[in-house]
Amino acid sequence: MAKLCRPWLSASACLVLVTACQLAASDALPEVKPEARIAILRAEIARHDALYFRQAAPEISDSEYDRLKEELAALERAHPELAMVPPASPGFDDRSGRFPTARHSEPMLSLEKVYDEDALRSFYARVSREIDRDGITFIVEPKIDGIAISVTYERGRLVRAVTRGDGNEGDNITENVLTIEGLPRELAARGGGDAPELIEIRGEVYLTFDAFARINREREAAGEPPFANPRNAAAGTARLDDPDAVAGRGLQIAFYGLGACEPASARPASQQATLARIAAWGLPVVDRAVVVCDAEVLWQTVCALGEERAGLAYPTDGVVVKLDDIAWRAKCGDSPQGPRWAVAYKYAPRRAATRVRAITIQVGRTGVLTPVAEFDPVDLAGSTVARASLHNRDALARLDVRVGDAVFVEKAGEIIPEIVAVDRGRRSPESAAFVFPETCPACATAVVSGEGGALVRCPSEACPAQVRRRLEHFASMAAVNIAGLGPATIGALVERGWVDDPADFYRLERAQVLGLGADVVVSSDALLSAIERSKSAELWRVIHGLGIPRVGETTARDLATVYPDLAAFGDLSAADFDAAGRAAVLDLGRATEQALLFWFAEARHRALVRDLAGQGVGANATYRAQASSSALAGKVVVLTGRLEHLERDEAINRIRAAGGRVVASVSRRTDYVVAGENPGEKLARARELGVPVIEEAAFLRLLEETP
């Protein structure tokens, strides 16, 4: 079992060793004095701390950051006279400056990190010596990759939720955290779990991989850059200014420990008892907690969890090993950097070395130019990858990737291939920095820089690359789902001038499709039939397929509950969002409303909608007839808690099929709150506003009334 982990470790160690050897072998590089290198490292680490913790926009991978911290620690050990007195802060501070701050009743410290078997065994041996006994019990838990949070309950009622901040105080993001499904406003009292007078409960706010993928799809559909990984997405979501927008993202939370507890006698005696007590209060806890009493079993458990993490629904970059007995923890004490009775074991990233063969520029549906590195194919985390996004002009410049470079590739959050480092020691002297184009590579239009300068766009909607991407989006499974209309077929249609916008699909003649050739279209009859079937696609699919900025799948579904058909939607105007009409239409938020009105202000967009409607697209007569006779037709529904007979996605789909609208938060416009097991704060909010609350049985009866 132990050997399973060694390849991951050797990849990381080899990179450090190669870099060190290159520096040692180079006669041209001047010797850097320890004090100068320490100053450089401190400044660089501080900059990356600000990017990671406060802006949720890291420039380097976690492993690269950890190596900087390791190098600094090694230099300070070798030169104690250069170490900071008092010791430097643990390095974290996620206070953003955009939220009021609140102090933790008990400091919320970070954890010491270890990266290999020897260091983990040394930790186990040290704690055993300090406790002065063998076979002590440790708990091994997954280290969820999100943002640390401390939630305080006073007399059983939630009063604040605060990020870790600098360990002493953090951002007060209570309103946003209260939108998280399954987080109760009041603690339950079951199984002997009566709440103490005051209790700080520590946990992690995160996004599942599925939620992360959905958010990125919606961001790309809205013309916004995707998040690099689930951790960045969770951090950005938790600090949005609009709690309703937070609710729509689907944040999750899991708790694993306690801070301050009053009275102290109410504190559980062990980590096992702590997790049981948190669960008894009705809070979600980490889903794995393995008990180990032996150093060998500890290592085997760490390796086994490392193998399992690829199948988890949430991101994790390691495990946390904690002494189980609370009294023994006091004997170990704390260091300035964190508790001495716990350690975080970080799995080395699954990394591959390869060589960049080209850097290409992709033009997206909204005109954004994205640099992409094409490299020699490598096997990485169970799949073969040969390309990786370089995100934008500024990110490319910071990383300074060049054609011909030897690079290291990882999967960010175990999902997205990402170049994390360039081996500059192997760079050719003839290498030249990549020059970002000043004109669109697809249409030669002069590009423009967006807000902040990082995003570069082609402003021409006639750009053939944008036209192809818009058509691909309309025909995709996420929109009207025209089987057989893939990129190659659409490219051929655009090249011949037969298709310029989605309405042109419905004017294609059989002779034209046959003219594309069998190498482009396998069956012309099948393609024409698929195009005809797409006319009856649900209205929300057609709206989503139009590619309106800020109108993703969720907003498109909401709009489809208001407008009976595409023709009515095409008449959208400012009157739909004025003070009198807002309640009758939707409360989409000002940014989305403005995006809709701006899009419809373009004559060609209004003409496109009229053209599609005139050809019978988006009529949905059968769907409307069914929905109009349903008990839930036109109703706004909020779900809270776990339903016994329906999975959440199934419940949402059933409500939408009945003509209802599912929203994330309770307001005075909500018609029903469906309360399942362990409902969250939405139940209290519904009672506060007088919104009808129904249990699952009544909800199922309403669904049964749907034809």
Q: Model confidence over 542-567: pLDDT tens digits? A: 999 998 887 888 788 878 877 778 98
Decide if 372 contacts 139 (C-beta within 8 A).
no
Helix or strand or coil: residue 241?
coil
Give the whole-angstrom CA distance, residue 355 versus residue 652. Answer: 46
pLDDT band at 9 (very low <50, low <70, confident <90, very high): very low
Pick the CATH number of 632-704 from 3.40.50.10190, 3.30.2290.10, 2.60.120.260, 3.40.50.1860: 3.40.50.10190
Q: Which amino acid, one-letter code, is at 603?
A: A
Q: How far is CA 45 from the centre of its chain?
A: 24
pLDDT, tens digit (0-9, with 9 covering 90-100), for 421-480: 899 889 999 999 999 999 999 999 999 987 666 789 999 989 999 999 999 999 998 899
Q: Where in the chain is the domain with CATH 1.10.287.610?
A: 34-88
Q: What are phi and psi of 151, to 5 degrees?
A: -110, 125
CATH hierarchy code of domain 34-88: 1.10.287.610
The Cα 295–Cα 123 span in angstroms is 10
Q: What is the dihedral of CA 269, 271, 272, 276, to 10 degrees?
A: 80
For CA atoms 160, 272, 108, 420, the dihedral sign is negative
- Torsion sign (Cα): 363, 368, 369, 370: negative
How far apart, in whole angstroms, are the C-alpha atoms of residue 140 and residue 138? 7
pLDDT in the model for residue 520: 83
Q: Which residue has the tokens 């989605």?
A: 502
DSSP 436-504: --SB-TTT-PBPEE-TTSS-EE---TT-HHHHHHHHHHHHSTTTT--TT--HHHHHHHHHTTS-SSGGG
What are the φ/ψ torsions at residue 538 (nearest 5 degrees)?
-55, 150
Burial per residue of 409-441, b for 16 or more beta-carbon CB atoms within 10 angstroms, e otherwise? bbbbbbbbbbbbbbbeeeeeeeeeebebbeebe
Phi, psi of 268 (to 5 degrees): -60, 155
Active-site annotation holder among 143, 346, 411, 682: 143
- What are the backbone angles phi and psi of residue 212, rounded to the nearest 5°? -60, -45
Residue intervals of the chain classified under CATH 3.40.50.10190 are 632-704
d(CA 39, CA 397): 24
Q: Please, where in the chain does CATH 2.40.50.140 lie?
A: 351-437+445-449
The two structure tokens encoding residue 594: 């403005």
Query: How far is Cα 608 from Cα 330, in angstroms, rounded to an integer?
Result: 70
pLDDT at 143 over 80: yes
Q: What is the pLDDT of residue 451?
A: 61
Q: Alpha carbon of 450 to those of 236, 330, 363, 398, 455: distances in Å? A: 20, 54, 15, 18, 5
Does residue 113 have an active-site annotation?
no
End-to-end CA distance of the chain: 57
**Per-chain mean pLDDT for the chain:** 83
Whether 81 and 157 have beta carbons less than 8 Å apart is answered as no
- Which run of H or E residues covers position 559? helix 553-560
Which CATH code is given to the segment(s) 464-536?
1.10.150.20
8 Å CB contact between 179 and 243: yes
Q: What is the pLDDT of residues 378-403, one digit of tens each?
A: 988 667 899 999 988 888 998 899 99
User: Are the beta carbons of 336 and 73 closer than 8 angstroms?
Assistant: no
Q: How does pLDDT run across 627-654, given as a tens digit for each residue?
A: 556 788 778 888 888 888 888 778 887 8
State how far the Cα of 196 lies from the Cα of 261, in Å rounded to an integer. Answer: 7
Pair 580, 252: CB distance under 8 Å = no
Go through the chain and tell me how many residues it has: 707
Q: Which two tokens stand for residue 252?
A: 């999750």
Long-range contact set of residues 443-448: C-beta below 8 Å, sequence gap at least 24: 447/369
- Beta strands 338-339 and 334-335 are antiparallel
Residue pLDDT, tens place only, 224-278: 677 878 888 898 899 887 777 788 788 999 999 999 999 999 999 999 999 999 9
The Cα-based distances of 172 to 102, 163, 177 in angstroms read 6, 7, 10
Q: Is the alpha carbon torsion for 640, 641, 646, 648 positive or negative?
A: positive
Domain with CATH 3.30.470.30 in the chain: 109-346
Long-range CB pairs of 52-57, under 8 A, 24+ apart, other chains included: 53/92, 53/93, 53/94, 54/93, 54/94, 54/95, 54/96, 54/97, 55/96, 56/231, 56/232, 56/235, 56/236, 56/239, 57/232
Residue with tokens 């600090």: 239
Specify the higher pLDDT residue, 429 or 591.
Answer: 429
pLDDT in tens, 281-290: 999 999 889 9
| 603 pLDDT above the threshold of 60 | yes
| Residue 12: per-residue pLDDT | 35
Q: What angle do CA 29, 31, 33 make, to 5 degrees?
A: 145
**Whole-number pLDDT of residue 405:** 95
Tell which wins on pLDDT, 681 or 159. 159
Q: What are phi and psi of 499, to 5 degrees?
A: -135, 130
- Return phi, psi of residue 618, to 5°: 75, 25
Strand pairing category for 672-675 and 693-695: parallel
Query: What's the confidence (pLDDT) of residue 20?
Result: 39
Task: Please provide the CATH number assigned to the domain covering 109-346.
Answer: 3.30.470.30
The alpha carbon of residue 443 and the mean position of all alpha carbons in its chain are separated, in whole angstroms, by 33
Q: Which CATH number fits domain 351-437+445-449: 2.40.50.140, 2.40.70.10, 3.40.50.10800, 1.20.1250.20?
A: 2.40.50.140
The answer to whether 638 and 689 are in contact (CB under 8 A) is no
C-alpha 531 chain-centroid distance: 34
Is the backbone peptide bond immediately before 263 cis, with ω within 30 degrees of 0?
yes
Max intra-chain CA distance, the chain: 86
Give per-residue pLDDT as tens, 180-196: 888 888 888 654 457 89
pLDDT level of residue 522 (50, 70, 90 thresholds): confident
What is 539-625's CATH number? 1.10.150.20
pLDDT at residue number 386: 93
Contacts of 463 (CB under 8 A, 6+ apart): 363, 367, 440, 442, 443, 445
Q: CA-to-CA distance for 664 and 414, rounded, in angstroms?
A: 28
Residue 591 scores a pLDDT above 80: no
